[in-house]
Amino acid sequence: MLLGAVVLDANKTVAEWLARLAIAVACGFLIGFERKRRSKDAGIRTHIIVCFASALMMIISKYAFSDLVGGALGAKEADPARVAAQVVSGIGFLGAGIIFYRRDLLHGLTTAAGVWATAGIGLAIGAGLVVIGCISTVILFSLQLLLHTRLRILRSNAANIFRIVAEVDDPDVLDIIDKIFKTKKTINFKTKQVEGKIIAEIEIATEMDYSGKELYAFTKQYAFIKSVEKTEEL
């Protein structure tokens, strides 16, 4: 009887742990889905693994060592923060790998912060704070969507990178390009001669986010613009 009760209790506990891990996977998927839609390197798979692994580490930290301290599950002698604290440190190294500095611009900071927050959500779910973890997921997902809206107050520090190829027969053409794209910063600029014509390749950062139709209209309206390419969004 006693052995059967122990097995039954263990099965209930394992089912609860598996449910937490499944919820962590779902939360990681939701956050990663938003990042994937914006073509970020850390997408669905990364966020799922981070959230799942954090929840797993928290379960291990909270329950795995109870037999070593001579108590039942959740014994007071166990330190549930020991392994979880290392998760926070480990995510710091992962975030550092996501952030990089290129062409005088910082990339990946928001994604790294999102991965860090995802780890926190995984820890919360693994610890049994499932409702808090799910609510935090919805809040984080909503914030990511809100902060990428076209509201000017939210877009003041955003930057879109455009690569423009133009025929420059007059220096004033460069000023016109700056006005058209409302250039915030010129990242790269080079010129070359092609069949006696001066061709400029310009890479700029701007707060504006032009659609494909708008870029097509610019190319059609201004004959000196040969091509426009949006390379990335910060």
Q: Are 52 and 24 in contact (CB under 8 A)?
A: yes
Instruction: Measure the CA dihedral 173/177/183/188, to 10°.
Output: -70
Total structural domains in the chain? 2
130 lies in the same domain as 190: no
Q: Pick from 148, 168, 194: which residue ends a domain? A: 148
* Residue 136: how many other CB atoms lie within 10 Å: 19
pTM (2 d.p.)? 0.58
Give pLDDT tens digits along the chain (234 positions). Answer: 334 434 444 555 888 888 999 999 999 998 888 777 776 767 788 888 889 989 988 888 887 766 665 555 545 555 667 777 788 778 777 777 766 655 555 667 777 888 888 888 998 998 888 899 999 998 888 887 776 665 555 554 557 888 899 998 888 889 999 998 888 888 888 888 888 889 999 988 888 888 888 888 888 888 899 988 887 655
176 lies in the same domain as 115: no
Q: What is residue 68's DSSP assignment?
A: T
Residue 25's pLDDT is what? 93
142 lies in the same domain as 173: no
